[in-house]
Amino acid sequence: MITLASDFGTPYPAAMKGVLLGRTDARLVDVGHDFPRQDVRATAFWLREVLPYFPAATHLVVVDPGVGTDRAALVVEAGGHAFVAPDNGVVIPTVRELAGDEFAVYEVEYEGTASNTFHGRDVFAPAAADVHDAPAVTAVDRVAPADEYVDLSFPDPEVGEGTATGEVLVVDGFGNVVTNVPGEFLDGLDRARVDGEVAPVGRSYAAVDPGGRVVTVGSHGNVELAVNRGRGDGAFGLGVGDAVRVERA
Amino acid sequence: MITLASDFGTPYPAAMKGVLLGRTDARLVDVGHDFPRQDVRATAFWLREVLPYFPAATHLVVVDPGVGTDRAALVVEAGGHAFVAPDNGVVIPTVRELAGDEFAVYEVEYEGTASNTFHGRDVFAPAAADVHDAPAVTAVDRVAPADEYVDLSFPDPEVGEGTATGEVLVVDGFGNVVTNVPGEFLDGLDRARVDGEVAPVGRSYAAVDPGGRVVTVGSHGNVELAVNRGRGDGAFGLGVGDAVRVERA
Amino acid sequence: MITLASDFGTPYPAAMKGVLLGRTDARLVDVGHDFPRQDVRATAFWLREVLPYFPAATHLVVVDPGVGTDRAALVVEAGGHAFVAPDNGVVIPTVRELAGDEFAVYEVEYEGTASNTFHGRDVFAPAAADVHDAPAVTAVDRVAPADEYVDLSFPDPEVGEGTATGEVLVVDGFGNVVTNVPGEFLDGLDRARVDGEVAPVGRSYAAVDPGGRVVTVGSHGNVELAVNRGRGDGAFGLGVGDAVRVERA
């Protein structure tokens, strides 16, 4: 099984599918092709939320603002999965989620074999097909252990007795504001103060009336700021990277 | 075969796919993940337009504004198909289209096994995989006949000799305005009066010049208000839920 | 293998998938369903960029502003592939890319068998399933050699010693402006004059600082006007169909 994730929209992912299907009989599964454009950090967050639910698979991930530079093309083995992606950290949080520090990083040599603007088609898709079909990553031509790789991690919040100070990691398509504050901070609370304003704490969006603000714990386990059937980003006035202070109230 | 329909966009559907593929070898088919956000009624309409064209399948449908409340999780058997969805009526029009009143409704017990915000991944996907692979719905753990379910139907129009009064059910992505007035009302007409203004009746959008308004019969069999290569919602000044009066002219 | 391409968004492609899966066991592959709405020319360009990367397949293509008129439904055989599409030229550039002038065009008879507004479901999907499963196109009921078909080609640029005058063929979702000027025109250049203003020539978007304009060669081999991590259409003030003059500088 090969999964595909990119920020390509329509139609570039189809060229990757064509290349894959020309080289392998693997089942293809779209993870999504509308990841935030050229946003490595947000994509890294979302991939960590979804890829660990897959059985062992080869994951082709192409969010690649550095295409055409000398950034490396990587294969990462972790927990029975293989990730084929540019060396910009986009798969690292998923890798650590699956396997902690127990992973192996390989580099795909591609000098002179590819266009300068579409490595998804010319470098990553062929590598993903070959990795999928090979008995081991090291059996694939042009692949060798990497000396180094670009790491990526999300900032840790400061969690005190009554106050947690964190930041907005991403805003999802519904407008839900995902922070890095751990959900446990809300344990036993009926309401919380967010950047000074009190809002109810609820087990779900529907814990408040439609249009009402709610502080909840998302499926990712972090504190999430939402509006029932509305958008939390507007209501809380928060966007990606903004600092956020949550207090017991 | 398991089909997937949701309002999740990117990337949440991938978590459902991962869970499904971890439990079953079934073929997965995306129906679409851009159904109108949290809009049960519009999704119910569109599903009735597309799902009946499938051969017997398990249909996983997650448009779920009530997630985290005590709304039930259902399995509905109808006409050889199985539907796994929240108990909000979203699959009922499709079920009736396929099987009239000949359907069976089951409830999936999930208390305490799921996150509060992502039942698509934690409740519905596992149930869909199990229903697909089981010899019968009743053979699946945690599934039992339901005592009741939320019904959903679309309003009937008032159709008289020369006038039909109905309402706008949905507006599609092209801006075509879909009413609940049956297409037969236009039989033999060359033009019709819509909310007082005359417009030509055509067999297709292209029956009028580009930019021109046309009253036609959509693929769903209802009267549709459109603009050839343009948007009918703007030209007719109509949106979802608006009353609409069509007269012979 | 049957690929699907359309401008239908959600949910109409699912009706085509249902019809296909009711008639054939073929693998289905989404090329994309967000091609520019009713834009035959742009879709023709993008299909030529992606479909040639597929192994031999049946390609179902439905961008069909003429639905409901008497435009023909075609099957085109070229280079081992079969294309099932409306007779508006949308697949012709791909066909010529694959097979030059060595292709065969057939017509699908559908009079009286279809709705007037959704031939993707009622005409093209059944034909694609039948073509896929048949030993030869001519073995399919209702299919016969066509006398004529609608051609489609892209304008040729005027390329002189120091100046190339062309036009904008399409703008992709990233805002990259794709011209019809061949990439070779930039050979050996460090910068070029675009409509009178000098911009650097780079091997990739990342050849310039973020936010900077760059003249590059896209994966399609044509001159492309871009902004690193930004939008080229805004920066260069160019849209589809605009004339563009590129000079050595």
Confidence at C206, pLDDT banded by 50, 70, 90: confident
Checking if the pLDDT of A177 tops 80, the result is yes
Structure token digits, residue C29 = 């592959």
The whole-number average pLDDT for the span A165-182 is: 92
The predicted-structure confidence for A56-97, as pLDDT tens digits, reads as follows 999 999 999 988 888 999 999 999 999 999 999 999 999 999
Q: Please tell me the predicted confidence (pLDDT) of residue A17.
A: 98
Architecture of the B2-145 domain: 3-Layer(aba) Sandwich (3.40)
Q: In the beta sheet, which residues pair with residue A167?
A: A243
The neighbours of chain A, by the rule of 3 or more Cβ pairs under 8 Å, are B, C
Q: Which residue has the higher pLDDT, A38 or B159?
A: B159
Confidence at B219, pLDDT banded by 50, 70, 90: confident
Residues in A whose CB is inside 8 Å of some CB of B read 1, 3, 5, 29-35, 46-47, 49-55, 57, 173-174, 202-207, 216-219, 224, 229
The neighbours of chain B, by the rule of 3 or more Cβ pairs under 8 Å, are A, C
Nearest residue on chain C to B56, alpha-carbon basis: C22
Q: Do A219 and B121 touch (CB under 8 A)?
A: yes
Q: Are A90 and A61 in contact (CB under 8 A)?
A: yes
Checking if the pLDDT of A206 tops 90, the result is no
Contacts of C65 in chain B (CB under 8 A): 205-206, 229
Mutate to test the interface with C, among B1, B219, B220 (most CBs of C within 10 A): B219
Domain boundaries, chain C: 2-145, 158-248
Of the partner residues B31, B173, B204, the one whose CB lies closest to the CB of residue C67: B204
Helical residues (DSSP H) of chain B, grouped into ranges: 12-23, 40-50, 92-99, 119, 125-133, 232-236
The whole-number average pLDDT for the span B10-19 is: 95
The whole-number average pLDDT for the span B35-51 is: 93
Q: Are C107 and C2 in contact (CB under 8 A)?
A: no
Of the partner residues A9, A18, A116, the one whose CB lies closest to the CB of residue C50: A18
Q: Please tell me the predicted confidence (pLDDT) of residue B115.
A: 74
Q: Do C10 and B46 touch (CB under 8 A)?
A: yes
How high does pLDDT run on average in chain C?
94
- Phi then psi for C201, rounded to 5 degrees? -95, 135
Distance, CA of A96 to CA of A44 (rounded, Å)? 11
Q: Please tell me the predicted confidence (pLDDT) of residue C218.
A: 87
Confidence at B18, pLDDT banded by 50, 70, 90: very high
Q: Please tell me the predicted confidence (pLDDT) of residue A117.
A: 80
How high does pLDDT run on average in chain A?
94
Q: Do A31 and B38 touch (CB under 8 A)?
A: no
Per-residue b or e along A40-55, where b marks 16 or more CB atoms closer than 10 Å to that residue's CB: bbbbbbbbbbbbbbbe
* ipTM of this complex prediction, to 2 decimal places: 0.90
Residues in chain B, how many? 249
Confidence at C157, pLDDT banded by 50, 70, 90: very high
> B2-145 and B158-248: same fold?
no
How high does pLDDT run on average in chain B?
94
Q: Please tell me the predicted confidence (pLDDT) of residue B119.
A: 94
Confidence at A214, pLDDT banded by 50, 70, 90: very high
- Phi then psi for A31, rounded to 5 degrees? -80, -35
Structure token digits, residue B130 = 């199990």
DSSP state of B140: S
Contacts of C8 in chain B (CB under 8 A): 173
Share of chain B above pLDDT 90, in %: 84
Confidence at C180, pLDDT banded by 50, 70, 90: very high
CA A242-A243-A245 angle, to 5 degrees, is 140
Checking if the pLDDT of B95 tops 90, the result is yes
SS3 C207: helix
Q: At the fourth CATH level, which superfamily is domain C158-248?
A: Bacterial fluorinating enzyme like (2.40.30.90)
Mutate to test the interface with B, among A58, A94, A205 (most CBs of B within 10 A): A205
Q: What are A122-126's contacts with CB under 8 Å, separation 24+? A: A122/C219, A123/A73, A124/A16, A124/A60, A124/A61, A124/A62, A124/A73, A124/A84, A124/A85, A124/A86, A125/A15, A125/A16, A125/A19, A125/A20, A125/A60, A126/A19, A126/A23
Amino acid identity of residue A137, one-letter, is V
Helix (H) or strand (E) holding C143: strand C143-145
Distance, CA of C180 to CA of A54 (rounded, Å)? 42
Q: Please tell me the predicted confidence (pLDDT) of residue C72.
A: 96
Distance, CA of A78 to CA of A145 (rounded, Å)? 14
Residues in B whose CB is inside 8 Å of some CB of A read 8-15, 17-19, 21-22, 28, 30, 37-38, 65-69, 115-118, 121-122
The predicted-structure confidence for C96-136, as pLDDT tens digits, reads as follows 999 999 999 999 999 776 777 899 999 999 999 999 999 99
Q: Do C207 and A68 touch (CB under 8 A)?
A: yes
Mutate to test the interface with C, among A117, A121, A122 (most CBs of C within 10 A): A117
